[in-house]
């Protein structure tokens, strides 16, 4: 995410009871178009990037190494399923967000997550740059991809996102990096062409029931990096257990360019939506000693 004044202003929505953060990492309700988290009643939170410059476990990061650990099975359930109700894609004014329609809610559990805990899916959204050389938020060995998608999950013991972001174990996010290739990735044809239907802020479109089946290939590789981090937008709350998938997904330059056609809150195309990498600060990056994950 670029910290320009226009971006900071765009993170605020004035309501009768004060300010609320429209934090793209936390998402927007696709029906009401209101932010998923109204922080106007939460002490200590504002739209001024509270932890962005003072935090010690900020995201994203460059991943230069990982320490192999014996981890229990990471269970990734429901994300790549065919869903009869389809999916909703929304232009939030900052990014393209995907919500899963119908039940059951996809979940994350096991692996590096707290024992006996379950994290429930909230929404997925994309990050991109003004070029495809540095288009992602996370980098691996100082190498970026062309696009990145984040799947945001809330710990099920917390009733809502507003509560979850007040706890260090409140969120789990897994990210997937897309690398540029010469030809279009046809497995993304249920998503990319539909970006033309959400050019302006607040517009939505319905994706087909099999729009997310491309996830199966990357998630079923059972390989990932894990580290403690933060949101990359809004107040950069340090409440995220990050899981970055090792396997990348191919995407063409023409497909990435479709994201830059989206119009943002300021009325101009969203040419870039990414935060630059942050200091590691002696954090340990873990990776599974062996492939023990489970995908359903």
Q: What are the pLDDT digits (tens) for 6-41?
A: 333 233 332 322 333 456 677 777 777 777 775 444
What residues does 12 pair with on adjacent strands?
A: 21
Provide the residue count of the chain.
296
CA distance 97 to 88: 8
pLDDT confidence of residue 290: 55
CA distance 102 to 262: 26
Q: What are the pLDDT digits (tens) for 66-86?
A: 998 887 788 999 999 999 999
CB count in 10 Å sphere of residue 234: 27
CB 94 within 8 A of CB 265: yes
- Cα 188 to chain centroid distance, Å, stands at 17
Report pTM. Answer: 0.87
Tokens of 117: 């805990």
Asked if the 5-295 domain carries CATH number 3.40.50.1000, the reply is no
Does residue 266 surpass a pLDDT of 80? yes
Of the chain, the percentage scoring pLDDT greater than 70 comes to 85
Q: What are the pLDDT digits (tens) for 79-134?
A: 999 999 999 999 999 999 999 999 999 999 999 999 999 999 999 999 999 999 99
Binned at pLDDT 50, 70 and 90, residue 235 comes out as confident
Q: What are the pLDDT digits (tens) for 137-180?
A: 999 999 999 999 999 999 999 999 989 999 999 999 999 999 99
The domain ranges of the chain are 5-295
Write down the H helix ranges in the chain: 5-10, 161-164, 215-219, 253-257
Q: What are the pLDDT digits (tens) for 173-215?
A: 999 999 999 999 999 999 999 999 999 999 999 999 999 999 9
pLDDT confidence of residue 139: 97
């Amino acid at each position: 995410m670029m910290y320009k004044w226009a971006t900071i202003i765009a993170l605020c929505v004035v309501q009768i009871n004060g300010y609320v953060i429209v934090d793209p990492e936390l998402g927007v309700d696709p029906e009401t178009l209101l932010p998923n988290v109204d922080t106007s009643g939460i002490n200590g939170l504002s739209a001024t990037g509270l932890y962005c410059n003072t935090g010690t476990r900020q995201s994203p990061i460059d991943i230069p190494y990982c320490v192999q650990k014996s981890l229990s099975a990471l269970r990734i359930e429901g994300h790549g399923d065919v869903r009869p109700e389809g999916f909703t894609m929304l232009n939030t004014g900052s990014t393209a967000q995907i919500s899963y329609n119908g039940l059951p809610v996809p979940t994350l559990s096991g692996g590096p997550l707290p024992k006996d805990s379950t994290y429930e899916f909230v929404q997925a959204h994309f990050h991109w740059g003004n070029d495809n050389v540095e288009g992602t938020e996370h980098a691996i060995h100082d190498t970026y991809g062309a696009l990145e998608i984040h799947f945001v999950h809330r710990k099920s013991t917390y009733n809502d996102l507003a509560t979850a972001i007040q706890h260090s174990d409140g969120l789990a996010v897994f990210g997937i990096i897309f690398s540029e290739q010469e030809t279009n990735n046809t497995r993304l044809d249920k998503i990319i062409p539909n970006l033309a239907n959400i050019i302006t802020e607040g517009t939505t479109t319905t994706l087909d029931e099999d729009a997310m089946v491309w996830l199966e290939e990357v998630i079923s590789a059972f390989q990932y990096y894990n580290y403690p981090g933060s949101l990359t937008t809004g107040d950069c709350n340090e409440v995220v257990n990050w899981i970055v998938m090792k396997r990348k997904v191919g995407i063409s330059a023409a497909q990435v360019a479709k994201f830059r056609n989206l119009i943002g809150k300021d009325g101009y195309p969203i040419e870039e939506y990414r935060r630059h990498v942050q200091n590691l600060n002696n954090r340990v990056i873990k990776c599974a000693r062996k492939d023990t994950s489970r995908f359903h």
